[in-house]
Copies of this chain bind each other. A is one copy, B any other.
Amino acid sequence: MATLSDVARLAGVTTATVSNVLRNPGKVKPSTVEKVEAAIASTGYRPNLMARALAEGKSSMVAMVLPDITNPFYPEFVAVAERVARDRNYFLMVCNTPDRPDIGLAYLKQITGTLAGGVLVLDTGILPGDIEQISNRRAPIVLASNEAIHYDEQVPHVVLDLHRAGEIAGQHLVELGHREVGAIVGCGLAGRQIVRLGGFESALQAAGLSLAPEHVRDTPDTVEGGRAAAESLLAANANITAIFATNDLMAYGAAQVLAERGIAVPQAMSLIGITDIHLARDMRPALTTVALHTETMATLAINLLLDLIEDPGHQPRSVKVPEPALVVRASTGVVAAI
């Protein structure tokens, strides 16, 4: 394989000049650029840029690993994280690890400390022990899972009160007078969204109510999953007046089923989600939801990662997202008189 020296020799210039042409051709005399480019073409030389980044001692690239790029929460998170990273002179790359923790782990092994100077991991089902081990050996990893509460304090992470998010959703329905409610519970790579459900149930219990098992549906955390769960809930429970979905995407699917069946929202059925993805605001009726502050979460998470890259001793190693907040839109209302 041709080397930089081969190119320099053929072009009759120094290797430093070849290097300049590769990096800043605008600063080299055009006739020299031409000679060097001709030499590159005739030798078939491929500049060894990875070696150069290495020689310069650092890569300014960081990465995010996430489980489902077609779930709009993740692109919304990425868009913010990329902007914040760029403001701090880092590039951000994203790895989508669909459906399998082993693939997520393979990505993490492949990129951590090699292609990326640090990695943000979201909800990929990768075991915390594996993450800690890779992180200790190579480069910082921050977990911004939205079910992060299971993670060890050893692993830097973003703290998000999902129990409180579920509780807020439950309190809102209780205050509107709902007594018989259905729950759609997402199951994805982060596991069953049981923390959110637990918060929801605690709000019902505080009001002397309970969530009957036949009012709960586990389903994939997708539009289709929400549709299937809503159909099943409606088929089995004629008396429910509200549906809680642990994620907005499933609430969006449920809303379609309600519209198709002519069940008026919120007059005949209230509907509430969690997250506040853009779609929640955009759908009609617009979705009442509990905002998880995606922008803030993404900003905190990426800044924590960059802080840890720049200073391995950085403290604190975890950051807390502001408490979830109820966003009342058009999909919830007082329970209809029966």
Contact = CB atoms under 8 A, between A and B. Distances in A.
Given A50-B59, A59-B50, A91-B95, A70 B70 contact: no
B79 A70 contact: yes
Given A46-B138, A282-B256, A93 B111 contact: yes
A139 to B, nearest CB: 7
Given A137-B40, A284-B259, A284-B260, A75 B70 contact: yes
A295 to B, nearest CB: 12
Given A94-B95, A98-B79, A282-B223, A54 B61 contact: no
B114 A49 contact: yes
A79 B71 CA distance: 11
A139 B46 contact: yes
Contacts of A296: none
Interface string A70-92: 10101110110011001000011
Contacts of A72: 70, 72, 75
A48 interface: yes
Nearest to A255: B284
Contacts of A94: 69, 93-96
A207 to B, nearest CB: 33
B54 A48 contact: yes
A51 interface: yes
A149 to B, nearest CB: 27
Nearest to A48: B54
5 contacts: A37-B137, A47-B138, A52-B114, A70-B278, A83-B98
Given A70-B72, A223-B278, 16 more contacts: A40-B137, A46-B113, A50-B114, A50-B115, A54-B54, A69-B75, A70-B76, A75-B75, A79-B96, A82-B95, A83-B98, A91-B106, A93-B93, A93-B94, A223-B282, A253-B282
